[in-house]
Amino acid sequence: MAKDKESRRKKVIETLNKARAMELTAISQYMNQHYGLDNMDYGELAKNMKLIAIDEMRHAEMFAERIKELGGEPVSEPDAKTVREQAVKEIFGFSANLEDVTIDMYNQFLLVCRENGDSISEKLLETIVEEEQEHFNYFDGVNSHIDKLGDNYLARIAGTPSSTGLQPQGFTVAKGQ
């Protein structure tokens, strides 16, 4: 019985590590896109891309914490390479597709957790899938606007501020408080 439980736990850890690697890919991809959009002076789009990347950072950390609770070691490598130097007209369709694939995979991962008796990991994936759906909706919406309105839509956004208004929160900032 203990062996069966250990085997089920390993399957969940492996699944959560796949999800974590996907999040690490998304973080790298979206931050790269954020920098590109900011350099092209599409501040509003850059700001939202950064905020979505921060959501993905949170997801990666949530997966890591759960993996550690289960006695596993979180992976630290993304599952794919970052696609660099994308044109603004390519970014949002690409990212919508990335989110669509993620939602599908996470729903499959959710089933693995359920089949292996881990309701906590199942709930974690349910929560993250909801947030990934919000990301998909945003990317798909922007992509649709770009497809339909093209340069007129992009001209409206050009020159908008890219500041996220985030307060610095890091090790050195926390030390100084």
12, 121 Cβ separation under 8 angstroms:
yes
pLDDT (tens digit per residue) in 53-101: 999 999 999 999 999 999 999 999 999 999 999 999 999 999 999 999 9
Give the predicted TM-score (pTM) of the model.
0.92
Annotated ligand binding at 145? The verdict is: no
Annotated ligand binding at 132? The verdict is: yes
Annotated ligand binding at 23? The verdict is: yes
For domain 2-175, give the CATH superfamily. Ferritin, core subunit, four-helix bundle (1.20.1260.10)
pLDDT (tens digit per residue) in 84-143: 999 999 999 999 999 999 999 999 999 999 999 999 999 999 999 999 999 999 999 999
For residues 144, 147, 150, 154, the Cα torsion angle rounded to the nearest 10 degrees is 40
Annotated ligand binding at 99? The verdict is: yes
Query: What are the residue boundaries of the structural domains of the chain, listed by start?
Result: 2-175
To 10 degrees, what angle do helices 88-115 and 2-39 make? 170
45, 23 Cβ separation under 8 angstroms:
no
Annotated ligand binding at 55? The verdict is: yes
Annotated ligand binding at 147? The verdict is: no
